[in-house]
Amino acid sequence: MIETLVQGVLLGGLYCLFALGQSLMFGVMRLTNTAQGDFVILGSFAAIAGMSGLAAMGPANAATPFIVMLALLPLAFGFGYALQRYVLNGTLGKDPLPSLVVTFGLSIVIQNLLLEVFSADPRSIETAGLNTESLALPGGGISIGVLPLLVFVVAVVATASLQWLFNSTRLGRAFRAVSDDKEIAELMGLNSNKVYALATAIAFVLIAVAGVLQAMRTTVSPSDGPLLLLFAFEAVIIGGMGSFWGTLVGALLLGITQQIGFRLDPGWGIWFGHIVFLAVLVVRPQGLYPKTR
């Protein structure tokens, strides 16, 4: 049982990384990014392409994927900024439909683009054995994978950083102000278009990190996106939309629930996660850490 819990927690770390970007974009500008999962997969394939590009220069070692990740981060930042500034900003407003349709359209475009370029075969990143290494937990007799542990740590650090950004920095104040009252925030000198673009830029950095880690952990294929979106979304709802720590907790709970489901019957694992999510929705729709407003 402990083993299942631990696996669930580590899986939850990954889901948290999927979910943080979604939580951020929705929190700042009420935008639901239905292509969230597809952008993660795009990140995965970008890393895979980067790896094969580097492979031309020499064999990969355990650090190579992280070098690729580092290189991807500024690209992701710029891409997210431009996407929000020039495409998504035009879809914001009272009506949720335009942003939904545009992000849904992006989802289709990304999936098919990836299919064209990479074909439907599942791929992954060569980790030079990192994904099979494990650590023995002291006094428990359980061993956990190094990579899942790393993912979990990254998730906690990302959550803490994001929370710190929101609570203690000028930009974080700007994010909160513009989501509270855009008109008055603009009256203070804030340019909402730029602030929104920054939020998405940061979200995409997280997406890139998630994408690389996902491809290191398992194989990815172009049509994997939608399922990741659903996990991200479930984590955000279970956790409540009041804080990023809530998203982490929601993600952990989702991971644990899925692992329990897999233990009961491999065919019903994901189904079980969905059902628990729906149950939380019925019983406590505001989530565990609701927004106090």
Partner 1 sequence: MSALLKASNLTAYYGDAQALFGIDFDLREGETTAIIGANGAGKSTFMKAVTGLVKTKPGQIVFKGEPIGGLPPGEIVKRGIALVPEGRRLFASLSVEENLLMGAFAKRPGPWSLQRLYTLFPILNEKRRQPGTSLSGGQQQMVAIGRALMSNPTLLLCDELSLGLAPIVIKEIYDALPAICAEGMTVVIVEQDVVLAQRVSRRICCFQEGRVSLQGASGELTREQISQAYFGL
Partner 2 sequence: MTPQVIRNNRSSRAALVAGVLLVLVAATLPFWAPEGSGSSWMREFVEIACYFIFAMMWNLLAGYGGMVSIGQQAFFGFGGYVMLMLGNFAGVNPFLAVPLAAAAAGLIAVPVSYVAFRLQGGYFAIGTWVIAEVFRLSFANVSAVGGGSGTSLTALRGIDKATRENATFWMALVCVVASIALVYTFLRSKRGLALLAIRDNEVAAESQGIDVRGMKLAVYVVAGFGAGLAGALYFVGNLRISPDAAFSVNWTAFAIFMVVIGGIGRIEGPIVGALIFWALNKFFSDYGTWYLLGLGLLAIVVTIYFKQGLWGWAQQRFGLSLFPTQRTLKL
Residue numbers of the site for partner 2 (CB under 8 A)?
Answer: 26, 30-32, 34, 87, 90-91, 96-102, 104-109, 112-113, 115-116, 226, 229-230, 233-234, 237, 267-268, 270-271, 274-275, 277-278, 281-282, 285
Shortest CB 190 distance to partner 1, Å: 6
Task: Decide which of partner 1, partner 2, none touches 267; Cβ closer than 5 to 8 Å per partner kind.
Answer: partner 2
Q: Directed axis angle between helix 146-168 and helix 2-29, to 10°?
A: 30
* Angle CA 110–112–117, to nearest 5: 95
Shortest CB 203 distance to partner 1, Å: 18
Nearer to partner 1, 79 or 289 (CB): 289
Shortest CB 67 distance to partner 1, Å: 38
Distance from C-alpha of 287 to C-alpha of 176, rounded to nearest angstrom: 20
Task: Decide which of partner 2, partner 1, none touches 70; Cβ closer than 5 to 8 Å per partner kind.
Answer: none
Nearer to partner 1, 94 or 170 (CB): 170
Which residue in this structure is represented by tokens 């603009």?
Answer: 186
Shortest CB 53 distance to partner 2, Å: 23
Task: Decide which of partner 2, partner 1, none touches 180; Cβ closer than 5 to 8 Å per partner kind.
Answer: partner 1
Nearer to partner 2, 34 or 131 (CB): 34
Spatial neighbors of 210 by CB under 8 A, at least 6 apart, are 14, 17, 18, 21, 40, 43
Task: Decide which of partner 2, partner 1, none touches 165; Cβ closer than 5 to 8 Å per partner kind.
Answer: none
Instruction: List contacts with partner 1 (CB under 8 A).
Output: 170, 173-174, 176-177, 179-181, 183-191, 292-293
Distance from C-alpha of 284 to C-alpha of 46, rounded to nearest angstrom: 39
Task: Decide which of partner 2, partner 1, none touches 106; Cβ closer than 5 to 8 Å per partner kind.
Answer: partner 2
Q: 178 near 190, Cβ under 8 Å? A: yes
Shortest CB 182 distance to partner 1, Å: 10
Shortest CB 90 distance to partner 2, Å: 5
Nearer to partner 2, 157 or 278 (CB): 278
Task: Decide which of partner 2, partner 1, none touches 183; Cβ closer than 5 to 8 Å per partner kind.
Answer: partner 1
> Which amino acid, one-letter code, is at 4?
T
Nearer to partner 2, 25 or 150 (CB): 25
Shortest CB 143 distance to partner 2, Å: 31
